[in-house]
Amino acid sequence: RVMSAPENQFDLMLDAAPVGGLSVRRSNRARRMSIRVDPLGSVEVVVPNRVRPPEVRSFVEENRDWIRRARDHMTGGVERVTVEPPAHIELKAIGREREVVYQDTGVRRLSLKDDGRRITISGTAAEEHELFRILTNWLKTEARKVLPPRLEELGDRYGLKHQRVQIRAQRSRWGSCSQRGTISLNCTLLLLDEPLVRYLLVHELCHLRHMNHSPRFWQLVRRCEADYEELDRRLATAWSELPGWVLVGRR
């Protein structure tokens, strides 16, 4: 059953066990309600602005079994991925790699240094997620160096001009485009193959002209990226390729 809660979040009970919060995101572009489950089992319900909260609750209840199966599948995948501190990080999007070295100095505060080849993390983490969080913050910094220039280059090539770009660590979205022309990109894109990153950037740039997924939108995407269908399929399952530390670091 769905338990009462604020409009943008509520809890789902599966087999009398609480699943935790389901976030509800209202979207101007959404034509129908949809449900997304990320690799950590978090659930996001995307709904058109016109849909009322009771309709959202009914929709979630109707899809309860699917949510349970999806969560079991996703969280099972995470359990198979080691969540130990990484010995190296491969930035596939730019063809680079970093060795990661840890120095337990007994100092409570963690610090990170990157010389371009090796990342050195010094200090002592009280909890494992603190270590993963500092690595995720480093990944954001690297993404800010790489993704905005590439977005600018592709935008100039195809005549699609954005207003600003944000680098974030979203749980369930590779990127998004606002009506004001702000494009948000997930820092974990650096961990994916370059063709997937290029496709995602093109996809979001095309939303500057069409804030929907209409036939005209896909026609524009096709003109910019001929293999968009295959790349879109690959991107939809690419969450499973992310290392465990980055999944925990975004909590």
pLDDT for residue 77 is more than 60: no
Q: What is the pLDDT of residues 93-137, one digit of tens each?
A: 999 999 999 998 888 889 999 999 999 999 987 677 888 999 999
Q: Residue 121, class by beta-carbon neighbours within 10 Å (0-12 exposed, 13-18 middle, 19+ buried)?
A: buried
The C-alpha atoms of residue 168 and residue 188 are separated, in whole angstroms, by: 9
Residue 183, pLDDT score = 96
Look at 148 and 235; give whichever has higher pLDDT. 148
The C-alpha atoms of residue 18 and residue 238 are separated, in whole angstroms, by: 28
pTM to 2 decimal places: 0.72
* Backbone φ/ψ region at 226: left (φ over 0), alpha (ψ -120 to 50), beta: alpha
The C-alpha atoms of residue 44 and residue 133 are separated, in whole angstroms, by: 22
Q: What is the pLDDT of residues 153-162, one digit of tens each?
A: 999 999 999 9
Domain ranges of the chain: 9-80, 88-249
Q: What is the pLDDT of residues 192-202, one digit of tens each?
A: 999 999 999 99
Residue 27, pLDDT score = 80
Q: Percent helix, strand, coil in the chain (nearest 5)?
A: 45, 25, 30
Residue pair 88/135 in contact (Cβ under 8 Å)? The answer is: no
Residue pair 109/123 in contact (Cβ under 8 Å)? The answer is: yes
Residue 127, pLDDT score = 73
Q: State the CATH class of domain 88-249.
A: alpha beta
Residue 88, pLDDT score = 95
Residue 40, pLDDT score = 66
Q: Could you please report the per-residue DSSP string of 69-87?
A: HHHHHHHHHHHHS--SPPS
Q: What is the dihedral of CA 7, 11, 14, 15, to 10 degrees?
A: -120
